[in-house]
Every structure is written in C-alpha cells, then in structure tokens.
Amino acid sequence: SSSVAAQRRPPHTAKRSGKCGVSRGPSSLSCRPPSKTAMASKSADAEASEKSPEENAQILRSSLEKGLSGREAAERLAEDGPNELEKPPKPTLLMLFIMQLTGFVIVLLMIAAVASLVVNGTGPNKEDILSYTTGKAIFVIVLINAGIAAWTEHKAGDALEALSKMTQASIYVLRDGKEEKREVPTIVRGDIVVLGTGDVVPADLRLIEAEDVKVSEMALTGEPDDVAKTWKMKPKKEGEPEKLTPENCVFSGCSVTNGKGKGIVIATGMNTRIGRIAQLIAGADGGKGKTKCGCLPDTSANATPLQQNLEKLGGRIGIIAIGVCVVIFAIGVAMDRTDPSNPDSPAWLYMILIAVTLAVAAIPEGIPLCVTISLSI
C-alpha cells in the first residue's frame, strides 16, 4: 500500500519550476500570520485570490516548497484551534415540543381555550358535552402544531452534523519539506495541502499548483457541474458576470473530481465558507447562551422572515381581538345584557361567555399550523 501511495503522490520537495516562482522560507520572515479576527473585515478567500502564491505564503509565514515546520504548525493549532466545525448543543425532541408552546399566538390560544372551558363549565349547559367542543378543538390544533413544528426543527437540526461530515479523516500536507499524511483537524493556516482526484478539500485553499483540477461545489453553491480551477490570477474583464467562487481557490467540504494540485491553507474551521454557513444555521451566537422562559434554548435566530412576520401579524391580531373583547364586555355589563335563555343569570357571566367566544373566533389559530405544514413540505 505504501508503494501505491507513493506512486499516487510523488514527493514535492524539489524546487518548483516556473509556475509560481520560489517563496522565501519561514526563517527569512519576521511577521506573524494574520489572526482569524484580522481577516474578518474581508473574507480570506477574496483577499487570497487577489494575491500571488508568493504573497500569500509571505503573509501566512509559510514556504511554498517546504510548508510549515512542525513547531510552527503546533503553535498555530494551539492558537486557532482544531480545523473542525463547532457543534452547538442540540435540544431534545421533548424540549423542542415544549418550546413550540411558548409562542405568543399559541399562548393566546391556550388562554382562550381554558377560558372557553371554564365559562362553559360554569354555564347553564355545563352538562352538554358539545359545549366544550371549541376549547377541545383549540387544544388539539395547538398540540398538532407543536408536534409537527418540533419534528421539523429536530430534523433540520441534523444539517450541522451533515456539514461536519463533509470531509475525510486525513490528507497529505508538506511539513518540514516532507509530504506527510495528517489528520484533517490538525490542518492549520499556512499548511501546503496536496490534493488528488477523490480527495475532499480539508480547508479553504489558495491553489499554488493545478493540473486539470476540477472541483464539485454543489454542496457550497448548488452548482451541479464541476468547476475548473487554476492557480493563476485572472483579471476580471469588463462586463463579465461575478463568479460564485474565485477560480484559484478551493473550499472546505468540496470534492476534487479531476486532476491534482497543491494549495496553501487560508482559512480553517468556522472561518471557512462552509463554517460561515454553519454559523448562519446555528445563529449569531453559535447556538449557545441564549434562553427564553428562564431555561428553554432560544431558537428565534433560526426563524425565517416568513415565520417572523406571521408571528408579528398573529400577535397584533390577538392584541386587537383582546382589546375589542374587553370593550364589548364592558359595554355589555354597563347595559346589563343578560342571557335571553336564562334572564336570572348575572350580566357579567353572560358577557364573559360572549367575549371569550369572540376572542376564540378572532385569534388566528390556523396561522401556526398552516405555516408549520407549509414549511415542512
């Protein structure tokens, strides 16, 4: 197996021939590589694609021929952390179900349902089972909605795990001038990675050599066709449409479908493009720290604009409905409106029944269920 590996990946220790020139070694530079936060103002791939391989190697304090030294790689690994996606704590299905019951419209519906059951239970028709139909129906709708929403969100939570699996266990890199097989989590900025057909790109790379390299970026951009890559810098022509990814960069999680090449690591872990997608899925805080109702995790950052707008709409309709019902209740009591079928009953009891009935009719209990089913299809 060692001979096959050697035949597949010939050592790259000789001086490179005119593709990119020769870069200075680590000992000839005194500057430190830019930190993760220093590259936040502009994406690392956008900066790297506009610079030559030599300039990128100088900025990252690496050597295009020898790669990083073992000590330098260990220091950067301790500084930046492992090259892997962070996984926020995943709430259980029961926790997600309980969280669905804390929405404003859902709370209004449960209050209206309880009020309907209480009023009908103290009214003249309390022995009639059909008088409790409204309250029971609301509770059924609320539970169905919470169950579907919890299951949908539970399945969507597997997206981060799927992203984290879009890599292979190990990859060939240049360390101290030798080609070595290293675990992907130990890859750091400035490493020179050797790519071949069938490899999964372990981090965001600026290519320094490319021989008929094609990469599948479907997982990153949705592009179904393989994308040809080059190490060269191509100036953008006037009127040429903006490309989804730079031609001289390859990205973490994308698979090499053809050719071979080498690239210098410009971003690892959560700073890669796939890491930024994971950050968007997890929310602005990475899915940690935020809670609501004291103990439940807050997933409001993951809500779509449609869900947010409908939540606001339902809240406004609910508040207006409650306000109208309170006014009707006050007017009815002031006018001493009693139940025509039971004139001896107090006016306030009859008007509570009327107000609760109006509130149940006005609060849009169908919105949460319709939105949940629509988004789950």
Count H helices and E strands in the chain, helices first.
Answer: 13, 9
- In this prediction, residue 12 carries a pLDDT of 42
Which residues have a Cβ under 8 Å from the Cβ of 105 and sit 6 or more positions away? 311, 314, 315, 318, 363, 364, 365, 367, 368
Which residues have a Cβ under 8 Å from the Cβ of 351 and sit 6 or more positions away? 328, 329, 332, 333, 337
Alpha carbons 20 and 209: distance in angstroms, whole number: 8
- In this prediction, residue 261 carries a pLDDT of 93
Which residues have a Cβ under 8 Å from the Cβ of 90 and sit 6 or more positions away? 157
Amino acid type, 8 = R
- In this prediction, residue 8 carries a pLDDT of 41
Alpha carbons 4 and 126: distance in angstroms, whole number: 84
- In this prediction, residue 105 carries a pLDDT of 74
Give the Å distances, CA to CA, from 65 to 201, 228, 296, 362: 20, 24, 52, 72
Alpha carbons 71 and 138: distance in angstroms, whole number: 65
Cα-Cα-Cα-Cα torsion 269, 272, 278, 283, nearest 10 degrees, comes to 100
Give the Å distances, CA to CA, from 96 to 146, 181, 365: 8, 42, 20
- In this prediction, residue 207 carries a pLDDT of 92
- In this prediction, residue 302 carries a pLDDT of 58
- In this prediction, residue 157 carries a pLDDT of 63
- In this prediction, residue 2 carries a pLDDT of 38
- In this prediction, residue 195 carries a pLDDT of 92
**Residue in the structure block whose two tokens are 């149940």:** 360
- In this prediction, residue 162 carries a pLDDT of 64
- In this prediction, residue 321 carries a pLDDT of 82
Which stretches of the chain score pLDDT less than 50?
1-41
Alpha carbons 291 and 277: distance in angstroms, whole number: 22
| Residue 60: how many other CB atoms lie within 10 Å | 26
- In this prediction, residue 116 carries a pLDDT of 75
User: What pLDDT, in 10s, does the model give residues 30-79?
Assistant: 344 444 443 443 566 777 888 888 998 899 999 998 899 989 999 999 99
